[in-house]
Amino acid sequence: DAGVTQSPTHLIKTRGQQVTLRCSPKSGHDTVSWYQQALGQGPQFIFQYYEEEERQRGNFPDRFSGHQFPNYSSELNVNALLLGDSALYLCASSLAGTGYEKLLFGSGTQLSVL
Amino acid sequence: QQQVKQSPQSLIVQKGGISIINCAYENTAFDYFPWYQQFPGKGPALLIAIRPDVSEKKEGRFTISFNKSAKQFSLHIMDSQPGDSATYFCAASHSRGSTLGRLYFGRGTQLTVWP
């Protein structure tokens, strides 16, 4: 089992551009959450998807949007990139309900905005 | 506003020593408190977790102590090893309601264990 797979591993963009990050959850998991981890900080919750809908959202602007596909994979889109969006973006998968106790993180996508 | 406060920011311990990391929270609705370990280039991995109905949980060399009245919890790593050198995050979550399963992380503690 490959666990949670994220792509790409690294990405360099310039201010104002748009970016799409991808995540494949662990086999059997149906819920995907996205976190932003700035350098030297703890992960910050962006949003969570279940049954192809956004179920929860953290304190992030509308420039951050997402999608979940029928096979449970997910995308994170960020529009109009700012320098402050440079961070490690983590995808985590779980089973709905009490599955958050077994939350499994991917290795992340390192986004650099120049 | 940081919902979970973690200290110290960095910690250096001799091999065989005890590493202690502390966290505090304000929201009494939190009822699940995990600790995560993160190595460079990797995502956080669940280490150990506790619920507020117990005051201590031990798994191998790792122990969580929980003080509900003080709204504090801590991670103790006994017999610390160089392989334990990593960043440790405490977190808190609700097990019900609209924020079910959302993790609120502390800022992290960079642990270095010297051989």
Residue A97 has pLDDT above 90, yes or no: no
- Per-residue tokens: A36: 């932003």
Say whether residue B105 is in contact with chain A using an 8 A CB cutoff: yes
The pLDDT assigned to A101 comes to 80
- Average pLDDT for A85-100: 90
Please list the residues that pair with A32 across neighbouring strands.
Answer: A49, A93
The pLDDT assigned to A1 comes to 63
Say whether residue B31 is in contact with chain A using an 8 A CB cutoff: no
Please list the residues that pair with B59 across neighbouring strands.
Answer: B62
Q: Which residues of A touch B100 (CB under 8 A)?
A: 56, 100
Q: What percent of chain B has pLDDT over 70?
A: 99
Residue A65 has pLDDT above 70, yes or no: yes
Nearest 10 degrees: Cα torsion B31, A98, A1, B75: 10
- Per-residue tokens: B96: 């019900």
| Nearest residue in B to A99, CA atom | B101
The A residues from 47 to 86 touching B (CB cutoff 8 Å) are 48, 56, 58
Residues in chain A: 114
**Nearest-CA distance B10 → chain A (Å):** 11
| Nearest residue in B to A94, CA atom | B101
> For residue range B54-69, what is the model confidence (pLDDT) as tens digits?
999 999 999 999 999 9
Q: Yes or no: say if A33 and A101 are a contact pair by the CB < 8 Å rule.
A: no
> For residue range B10-50, what is the model confidence (pLDDT) as tens digits?
999 999 999 999 999 999 999 999 999 999 999 999 999 99
Per-position DSSP letters for A16-34, written without gaps between them:
T--EEEEEEPPTT--EEEE
